[in-house]
A = this chain, B = another copy of it.
C-alpha cells in the first residue's frame, strides 16, 4: 500500500478501488455532537462579540444592544454568503432558553421595597396602559388600512388580525428596557416604574395575544359574549396563576435551602433550577412565566441569601448575572442575524411608518393620561421630565419578535418585517438618543439623589450594630455580604484587634463604635457643606 493511500486512509477517506473497508484510524462524526457544539459555539460567539464591543473605541458611545444587532447583521451576511442556513431563533428557543435567565436575574435583584412602594403606578401602566395601547394602536392601524393608506392589497385586512398584531407590538419589552436603562443612570423610582411596567405587562400581553389568536381562528362571526367574558376571566387566571406559581416555588426554595447545609455544594444549582422550574410550570399551564419567575425571585431572595453559604451566594449572583447577560446579548445578536436570514420579508413602507408613528404617538398619550391619574394619588409626583423619559422608555424587543414568529395569520410576513423595523427603530433611534436626552433634560440621575445625613448615619448605625453583634457572637452570617465588604477595609483595624484577637471586650468595642459614628457624622456634615458650596 502506497504512502498516499495510507494518508488517505488515516484521514478516514475511503478509496474507491474496491479494497475492503478496513479499520479506520481517523473518523469524523459531527451529527452526534452537533447540538451541544452549536449551543456552546453561540455562547463563545456572543462573548467574543461583547468583548469586541468593549475594545472598540467608537462603541462606548452606542448602547450595547445596538452594537450586538450590528454584529448580528454582519454574522447574518456572512452566513448568507457561505450559504449556511442556521436556525437561530425560534419562539421556543426564545421563551424557554433565552428569556427566563434575564427575568430571573431581574426578579432576584429587584429592590423589593421600592417595587412594592411603586406597585400601584406600575400596575396602572402595565395593565391599563398596555390595554389602552393595544386597542388604540390596533384600531388606528385598522382605520389607516381601511382608508387605503397601505395600498389596495391591505385594504381588506380584518380587524381581528390587526388587533392581534396590536396586542404583540403594544407591550414594552423588559429585555430592551433593561439593556438601555442599565447604561443611563436615571433615578431608581423612574427606573423601577418603566422596568416594572415592562415586566408586569407580560400577563396582559399574553392574554390579549392568545385571546385574539383564538378569536381569529374562530372567525368574527363565531365570537359570543361568553367568549369575551372568558377573555376577561382568563386575564385573572394567567396573571394571578403565574404570580401564585412563582410565589409557591419561591417559598419551596426558601424552605429547601434551609435544609441544604450538609450538601452546601448544590445550593447554587437548586436556587437557579427552582426559579427556572417556576417559569416552566407556569408555561405548562399557559400562564405568565415572566410573572412566575419574577415573583419567585422576589419571594425567595431574602430567605435564600440568608440560608446559603457565602460562596454559594456569590455563585448564585455571578451565575444569574452571567446567564442573563449572555442571554440578553444573544437575543440582540440573533435579532440581527434573523433580519438577514429571513427569506420571506414583506416590506410595506407605509405600514411600517404607520406602526412606528402609532406606537410612539399612543405611548405619549397613554403615559401622559396615566401619569395624571397616578399623580392624583402619589405623594411624590411624576414630573414632566420623568414623564418624557417614561414615554421614551417604551422600547420593543425580542418578546414581540418571538410572538410574531408564532403567528399563523395571512399577513404574517408583513407583521414579522414590521416588528423587526419597530425593534430596530426603538433600539437604535431611542436607544442612542436617550442618553443625550437625559443629559439635556437634566433628569435626576442616581448619583445625584442625595441621601440625607440623618439617613446615612442611621443606616450606618444599623449596619455597624449588626456587624458588631455578629463579631461578638462570632457569627456574621446574618450581616449582609455587602456590609461586611464595605466595612472590612475601614473598620478591621478597630474591630479586629479588640474583638477577634483577644477576648471580647465590650467597653472597648463600644468606644470604637462611638468613635466611628462621630467620625462618620463629621464626614457627613463636611460632605453636605461641600455640596452646598
Name A residues whose Cβ lies closer than 8 Å to a Cβ of B.
Answer: 1, 9-10, 20-30, 32-33, 36-37, 40-41, 43-44, 47, 50-51, 54-55, 92, 96-97, 211, 214-215, 218, 222, 224, 226-227, 230-231, 233-234, 237, 259-260, 262-263, 265-266, 268-270, 273-274, 276-277, 280, 283-286, 311-312, 314-315, 318-319, 321-323, 325-326, 489, 492-493, 496-497, 500-501
A44–B218 Cα gap in the complex (Å)?
41
Closest chain-B Cβ to A328's Cβ sits at a distance in Å of 11
Known contacts A10-B237, A43-B269, A47-B263; 14 additional CB pairs below 8 A are A1-B226, A23-B234, A25-B234, A26-B234, A26-B237, A29-B283, A29-B284, A43-B273, A44-B270, A51-B259, A266-B322, A268-B322, A311-B318, A493-B496
The contact of A277 among B32, B40, B214, by CB within 8 Å, is B40
Assess A280 versus B36: contact at CB under 8 Å? Given A263-B50, A273-B44, A318-B265: yes
A85–B263 Cα gap in the complex (Å)?
30
The contact of A30 among B10, B41, B284, by CB within 8 Å, is B284
- If over half of A's interface residues share one DSSP class (helix, strand or loop), that class is named, otherwise mixed; here it is helix
A20–B222 Cα gap in the complex (Å)?
8
User: Does A36 lie within 8 Å of B96, measured CB to CB?
Assistant: yes
User: Does B273 lie within 8 Å of A40, measured CB to CB?
Assistant: yes
User: Does A230 lie within 8 Å of B25, measured CB to CB?
Assistant: yes
Minimum CB distance partner of A9 in chain B = B230
List of B residues within 8 angstroms of A92 by Cβ = 32
How many copies of this kind of chain does the complex include?
Answer: 2
User: Does A270 lie within 8 Å of B47, measured CB to CB?
Assistant: yes
User: Does B283 lie within 8 Å of A33, measured CB to CB?
Assistant: yes
User: Does A215 lie within 8 Å of B47, measured CB to CB?
Assistant: no
A-B contact pairs, 13 of them (CB 8 A): A23-B230, A25-B234, A26-B234, A32-B283, A33-B283, A36-B276, A44-B274, A47-B269, A51-B260, A265-B325, A268-B319, A268-B322, A312-B318
User: Does A266 lie within 8 Å of B30, measured CB to CB?
Assistant: no
Closest chain-B Cβ to A102's Cβ sits at a distance in Å of 14
List of B residues within 8 angstroms of A263 by Cβ = 47, 50-51, 54
A314–B318 Cα gap in the complex (Å)?
9
The contact of A37 among B237, B269, B284, B312, by CB within 8 Å, is B284
User: Does A286 lie within 8 Å of B322, measured CB to CB?
Assistant: no
Interface centre among A25, A215, A263 (most CB of B within 10 A): A25
List of B residues within 8 angstroms of A284 by Cβ = 28-30, 33, 37
A94–B261 Cα gap in the complex (Å)?
29
List of B residues within 8 angstroms of A36 by Cβ = 96-97, 276, 280
Closest chain-B Cβ to A2's Cβ sits at a distance in Å of 12
User: Does A55 lie within 8 Å of B266, measured CB to CB?
Assistant: no
A322–B270 Cα gap in the complex (Å)?
10
Closest chain-B Cβ to A72's Cβ sits at a distance in Å of 18
A92–B24 Cα gap in the complex (Å)?
21
